[in-house]
Amino acid sequence: MERGGIIVGPGEVIGVAVHAVTAEAITLTHVHLHRRKDGVHVRAQGEAADVAGLAATYGTRIPVALTMDTDRCVHRVLQRTGEPDELLRQAFPNAALDELCTSVWKAGPATGLSMARRSAVAEVIARFHALGFRVVRVSIGPWALLGLRTLLGEDAGTWSAAGHTFTFADGGLATHVTTRAAEGRSLQLDADRIEDRHALAFAGAWAHLVPTAERQDTPLPEVVAAQREERARHRYERGLLIAAMLFVLVIGGERAIVHQLARSRSTLKSSASTQARDREALEALRANVRAMEGIGEELGLGRSDGLALQAARVAATAPSGIRLDRLVEHPLRGPLKEREPLTTERGIVRVSGTCRDAGVLDAWMSILKGTAGLSTVKLLGYSIDPETATPRFELELAP
């Protein structure tokens, strides 16, 4: 059986960093991450000389989060933030943006940007598709490493990982240069040790499992199609497992009931102690059923995967006076702490942005409270931006 078991849930992904591409070969590093209730775990890491080697290691059922970091990728740092299209035109003047794949990562008051030719990226994706992989995320450049730096709690002015060195000043990214990775170096993340040469593959997988509003990538049609196929597969496999478990429960329950009735008929005139033992046996049967239901809960069968669709509907209701700049599903339960697993608020959506005035925000909250599928609309914060004098807000929504 391929790695991933019977069910490959939405919390499982292979992060793959592409470091070199030729007509004959492709150099890859890879990290397999699995998100469970007790946190995100590293299940495997390594290198491969081609996509076939990756398939031999994992099979092709687990989705891939791809990060391009070849010599043909161009990187820039701008000491400003703003709309991605405007920043890309400034970072890459005279470039035909519709012929490029780009990634943008906001880092404090600065922005990191990378680009690669769309045709070159499509050729790499085609190699994965040819073997049956689903590429559900594509990023260009080293910027996902900034999320890894935050996760590790690094605050030094200079930080290096996976052959890239970043410098920071005034709370934001100052410069980036491509360097040579330190041989034998590794990064400690709770109980998991990540080899430095695998750090970019890990960071890309982590950014896929724990999305952030600071990151924006070019939406490629083949990637969007793979995401749609992945969601359909989750529903199909979950339905099969639910049907199988219901069948087992029904058959097991029927046999238990018949057996219990037979025992009850033979013990109607038994002593009080015998009747007590029968009640204990029935309670044990109920405990077994609850345990099987717990297995289903652990496999995620009780969770609805309609939260992303609900979040999209929420964003679509925003009136013209509301501008959203952050929408996070399943936000972190609290700050990351050393040697404590990552925990998230399941079923919660947090939305933040700016508004023209408090009246517009109140009107939108009234609309949200009447939206089907939302039971909670809570205002977490409302303040005035001291630089722009624009009201800022943060809402928490729950089904």
Asked if 56 and 155 sit in the same domain, the reply is: yes
Positive or negative torsion for Cα 228, 230, 233, 238: negative
- Residues 169-191 have a mean pLDDT of 81
pLDDT at 305: 46
pLDDT at 301: 45
- Report DSSP state, residue 189: E
Asked if 367 and 284 sit in the same domain, the reply is: no
| Residue 162 included in any domain | yes
| Residue 104 included in any domain | yes
CA–CA separation, 146 and 108 (whole Å): 11
Provide the percentage of residues in the chain whose pLDDT is more than 70: 80
Q: Is the pLDDT of residue 369 over 80?
A: yes
Asked if 214 and 264 sit in the same domain, the reply is: no
Q: Tally Cβ neighbours within 10 Å of residue 244.
A: 11
Task: Output the domain CATH number for residue 173.
Answer: 3.30.420
Q: Is the pLDDT of residue 282 over 90?
A: no
Of the pLDDT bands very low, low, confident and very high (cuts 50, 70, 90), residue 342 is low
Asked if 293 and 162 sit in the same domain, the reply is: no
For residue 117, what are the β-bridge partners? 100
CB 11 within 8 A of CB 22: no
For tokens 């109920």, name the residue.
286
| Residue 5 included in any domain | no
Its domain, for residue 342, covers 307-398
CB 13 within 8 A of CB 209: yes
Task: Output the domain CATH number for residue 366.
Answer: 3.30.70.2830
pLDDT at 294: 61
For residue 7, give both structure tokens. Answer: 């069910």
Residue 372 or residue 325, greater confidence: 325
**Considering all CA atoms of the chain, what is the largest pairwise distance in Å, rounded to the nearest integer?**
94
Number of domains present in the structure of the chain: 3
| Residue 60 included in any domain | yes
pLDDT at 398: 85
Q: What's the residue count for the chain? A: 399
pTM value is 0.60
Asked if 171 and 197 sit in the same domain, the reply is: yes
- Cα–Cα distances (Å) from 162 to 64, 85, 146, 154, 299, in that order, read 19, 28, 12, 15, 34
For residue 103, give both structure tokens. Answer: 């990634």
pLDDT at 29: 94
CA–CA separation, 110 and 174 (whole Å): 7
pLDDT at 388: 83
Pick from 70-79, 169-178, 314-323: least confident = 314-323
Q: Tally Cβ neighbours within 10 Å of residue 383.
A: 10
| Residue 330 included in any domain | yes
DSSP-derived pairing of the beta strands 135-140 and 64-68: parallel
Residue 191 or residue 269, greater confidence: 191
CA–CA separation, 328 and 50 (whole Å): 35
Q: Is the pLDDT of residue 104 over 90?
A: yes
- Mean pLDDT (the chain) is 82
Q: Is the pLDDT of residue 197 over 70?
A: yes
CB 36 within 8 A of CB 207: no
- Report DSSP state, residue 6: S
Q: Is the pLDDT of residue 43 over 80?
A: yes
For residue 346, give both structure tokens. Answer: 């399941």
Asked if 179 and 286 sit in the same domain, the reply is: no
Of the pLDDT bands very low, low, confident and very high (cuts 50, 70, 90), residue 293 is low
pLDDT at 80: 92
Q: Tally Cβ neighbours within 10 Å of residue 161.
A: 27
| Residue 229 included in any domain | no
Asked if 139 and 273 sit in the same domain, the reply is: no
Asked if 286 and 170 sit in the same domain, the reply is: no
Helix spans in the chain (H): 51-58, 84-91, 118-130, 144-152, 199-209, 221-266, 272-298, 307-316, 358-369
Classified as helix, coil or strand, 264 is: helix
pLDDT at 31: 94
Asked if 52 and 197 sit in the same domain, the reply is: yes
- Residues 265-290 have a mean pLDDT of 69
Pick from 56-70, 156-170, 292-306, 379-393: least confident = 292-306
Asked if 66 and 204 sit in the same domain, the reply is: yes
| Residue 233 included in any domain | no
- Residues 167-173 have a mean pLDDT of 89
- Cα–Cα distances (Å) from 45 to 194, 248, 332, 391, in that order, read 8, 37, 25, 45
Q: Tally Cβ neighbours within 10 Å of residue 6.
A: 10
Of the pLDDT bands very low, low, confident and very high (cuts 50, 70, 90), residue 296 is low
- Residues 315-322 have a mean pLDDT of 83
| Residue 368 included in any domain | yes
pLDDT at 240: 65
233: left (phi over 0), alpha (psi -120 to 50) or beta: alpha
Asked if 160 and 57 sit in the same domain, the reply is: yes
- Residues 210-225 have a mean pLDDT of 86
Asked if 284 and 185 sit in the same domain, the reply is: no
Q: Is the pLDDT of residue 1 over 60?
A: no
Q: Tally Cβ neighbours within 10 Å of residue 318.
A: 17
Provide the percentage of residues in the chain whose pLDDT is more than 90: 33
